[in-house]
Structure 1
Amino acid sequence: MNSSSQPVFIDFEASSLDLISSYPIEVGVCLPDSSTHSWLIKPHVLWSDWSESAEEIHGISRQQLIEEGFEISKVVREMNTLLSGDIFCDAWTFDSFWLHRLFKAAKAKPAFHLDSISMLLNSEQINQWQNVRQLVINEMAIVTHRAANDALILQETWKRVQHIE
């Protein structure tokens, strides 16, 4: 875990949920002080997968990525500058795939280690997670399926199941 007593959370949005051809389109992190950072990612020339249903969920168009997205090398460089130690996600299978795809495209290695949020929770907290997460979403009234917001939701849910104010 990072030097702070609270973990760092990360979330990805992707072109689809296909674990062969999908790629990351947005990455967001929430730091221990609750500050968030996010990057729209300009697709690599070889990344062509696109799901209209995924676009309906996250609300990010491929054209928006082309026009507003950051170059992969910039995203990776900024992530490596900002992050170290263990970083936690709630969908490890997908998030680790997208993290790997992002860094491979940049020909770089992450300066941090991605792990599942389940590693931070006991069985009681795992059982509470979905209900508490839904309460957090309702109370925060923020848009979901945007990477930084979802990382912030992870942090707030973690705090609540840990009984941290």
Structure 2
Amino acid sequence: MMTVPIIIDFEASGFGQGSYPIEVGFSGRHGEGWCSLIRPEPDWTHWDPEAAKVHGIAREILVERGNTAQFVAEQLNFFLGGRTVYTDAWGQDYVWMARLFDAAEIVPKFKLTDLFEIIEDEQMPIWQATKDQISKELCVARHRASSDARVLQLTWLRTFDETRKQTV
């Protein structure tokens, strides 16, 4: 029996060293989503204008409307505790997740794993075209955590289903 993967995505202040998480969102097994802006910690000062162009979130908005690292980490543990959660950018997202949980001074109660561990070879040839089609269908205009997670989840589902049809 197929289990729908839970997909998580982080947006960050930049693409390199010194960057920190500014938003996290996930798409659960039944398509339910959750997302939160993250207020920067006092020592989180790195800000890359190029990254801000991609996610479209101003630092001022994070300071005004973001939740504390502790609140966000506690919520993630509440919703995702005991589960395996997948990301398409494991190397980056793992660092940003660790930075979030370190700031909150708590331990993640879920396992973060690379999405590509559950993508079968047969899914890869149709992956990008399917992802692009789903983004169009959902009218995803902005690069944001919860919508990115949902697009990835639906891409996995659709490509999984397509490969199963070909083998029947």
Structure 1 partner of 2:165: none
Contact 1:118 1:126 in 2 (8 A): no
Q: Does 1:159 align with 2:157?
A: yes
Q: Does 2:121 correspond to 1:104?
A: no
User: Aligned with 1:33: secondary structure?
Assistant: coil
Tell me which of 40, 43, 66 is aligned to 2:40.
43
Root-mean-square deviation (CA), in Å? 1.3
Q: Cα deviations across residues 113-154 of structure 1 (Å, max 9, x unaligned)?
A: 001111111112123222211111112112331100001101
Q: Tell me the alpha carbon deviations over residues 21-61 of structure 1, each in whole angstroms, 9 at most, x when there is no partner.
A: 00000000100111110010000110000011111111100
Q: Report the equivalent of 1:74.
A: 71
Q: List runs of 5+ in structure 2 lacking aligned partners.
A: 163-168
How many residue pairs get aligned? The number is 160
AA at the equivalent of 2:144? R
The aligned amino acid for 2:102 is: K
In structure 2, what is the equivalent of residue 89 of structure 1?
A: 87
Shift of 1:14: 0.3
**Kept after mapping to 2: 8 A contact 1:34/1:152:** yes
Unaligned runs of 5+ in 1: none
Write the distance in 2 (CA, Å) between the matches of 1:120 and 1:52: 34
Q: Write the deviation string for residues 72-120 of structure 1: whole angstroms up to 9, x where unpaired.
A: 1000001000003210001111111101111111111111000111111
Cα distance between partner residues in 1 of 2:142 and 2:114:
20
Give the distance between the partners of 1:127 and 1:98, measured in 2 at CA: 29
SS in 1 for 2:141: coil
**Larger Rg: 1 or 2?**
2
Matched, 1:61 2:71: no
Query: Equivalent residue for 2:125?
Result: 127
2:135, 2:142 → 1: CA distance? 8
Partner of residue 3, structure 2: 5
